[in-house]
Amino acid sequence: MSMPSNAVFISYRRETGDVPALALFQHLTAMGIDAFCDVHSIRAGRFDSIILSQIEQRPYFALVLTPGTLKRCTSLGDWVRHEVEHAVATQTNIVPICSERFSYDEIERYLPPRLATALGKFNVFRVRSQLSLSEVKRLADEFLKPVPVPSARDSTESRAGAARILERTRRLPPVTTTALNAQNKFEEGQLRSDDEDADGAIEAFTAALRLSPDFADAFHSRGVVLSSIGRQADAIRDYSRAVELMPTMHVAWYNRGCSQLILRDLHKAVADFNEAIRLKSDYARAFKNRSKAYEGMEDYQRARADIDEAIRLGPNEEKDLYKECLYMRALLRMRSEDKRGAMDDLDRAIAIDPSFSEAFFWRGLLRDNLGYRDEAIADQVRSRELDPNGELPLTWFRRPNRRRRWFR
């Protein structure tokens, strides 16, 4: 039996949109609209059946779009992408809710064409200033008309899980005007960061933190910018504050590990990557960079195990990450004199990116070592064509009979 409903599932990127998502939930709930928003669950491993079920049971899917929301949707394993895919697959009415600073171009840039096309069929709700109660009332009047929805068939376990999530969300304090003002400054920082205006981004994130001193995402994002301009110690301080405020923020643990790795504080880097992986078990980038840390510690067995796992997970990530992992494993295989295995990894990396100059260089060395001199020279020449100013020398091939044990 169908019952009219305007229930809403709220989808958002935790690191960029938790403030407006929570404000939306609170305003909708105050208006008597059934809204679902998961603000605390750690989503790792398989996609949570509770989330999928909640999308299916509600006729509306509100996608909160702030600058940077869709960037990670290039990855097959991304949660926001999964939620959008499920909403499209179940023919749920999608309502893209765009902040003032969100560029609609991000949809075509970061979503697969079929999802971008699907989203293009729905009308966009553009927030005029802040996601205030009056704005949410306008949203409800224009977009959330009650429509017939079949009675939901949900398991007792799933219903109980959803109830626990909603109870946690309801207990959160109300979003204030100050918090929304801080969100506006935060979004300005995100845009300035995208424009590579590091000083402007740092200034905007700092302004957000003056308004909201416990804004974990602003600490994290400022840390990312500080790291990008070489201020690793300052970045580590910001990442540390972010994880103090939000211990489940796996990306902050990961980024702090990256800064520790740059500073060659390898044991601390490993500890941070460990925590990132504990929070997100399919975190390919964390496995990759923990492998780098282990390699720096000369623990090659663990380095190899981690890069193998990163490659296993790699197809779920972007192709650049996958090729880097194959390249790293090739170098580890060279160290153990697994020449054929290293050759296979380099072949695969080059197939992904035919302009990968370093992979051509090392494949040239491998081919020469295996006796394929003409192919080796061709690879070396190609490497130099792709990177004329590269530091990897061609002089090694000028002595025809030389067989240096370079892979030790």
Side chain identity at 267, as an amino acid letter?
H
Which of 82-91, 153-162, 371-380 has the lowest average pLDDT? 153-162
In the predicted structure, residue 42 carries a pLDDT above the cut 70: no
What is residue 113's predicted lDDT score, i.e. its pLDDT? 93
* Pairwise CA distance, residues 42 & 83, whole Å: 15
187: three-class secondary structure by DSSP: helix
What pLDDT score does 114 carry?
Answer: 93
Pick from 122, 147, 158, 143: which is nearest to 59 by CA?
Answer: 147
Residue entry with tokens 């490497």: 383
Q: Which CATH number fits domain 318-408: 1.10.10.10, 1.25.40.10, 1.20.1090.10, 1.10.3720.10?
A: 1.25.40.10
Evaluate whether 283 touches 250 at the Cβ level (below 8 Å). yes
The CATH number of domain 2-173 is 2.102.10.10: no
The most confident of the ranges 87-91, 131-135, 167-171, 318-322 is 87-91
Identity of the residue numbered 279: L
Sign of the C-alpha dihedral, residues 245, 251, 257, 261?
A: negative
Model confidence over 322-347: pLDDT tens digits? Answer: 999 999 999 999 999 999 999 999 99
The pLDDT, as a whole number, for residue 130 is 79
Domain map (residue ranges) of the chain: 2-173, 318-408
Task: Specify the 3-state DSSP secondary structure of 315.
Answer: helix
Mean pLDDT over all residues of the chain?
89
Which DSSP string corresponds to 365-404? HHHHHTT-HHHHHHHHHHHHHH-TT-SS-SGGGGSTT---
What residues have CB less than 8 Å from 149, skipping those under 6 apart?
A: 2, 3, 4, 5, 7, 57, 58, 59
Band the pLDDT of 388: cuts 50, 70, 90.
confident
User: pLDDT at residue 392 above 60?
Assistant: no
pLDDT, tens digit, 9 for 90 and up, residues 175-222: 999 999 999 999 999 999 999 999 999 999 999 999 999 999 999 999
What is the pLDDT confidence band of residue 40, given thresholds at 50, 70 and 90? Answer: low
In this prediction, residue 221 carries a pLDDT of 97
pTM for this one? 0.85
For residue range 245-276, what is the model confidence (pLDDT) as tens digits?
999 999 999 999 999 999 999 999 999 999 99
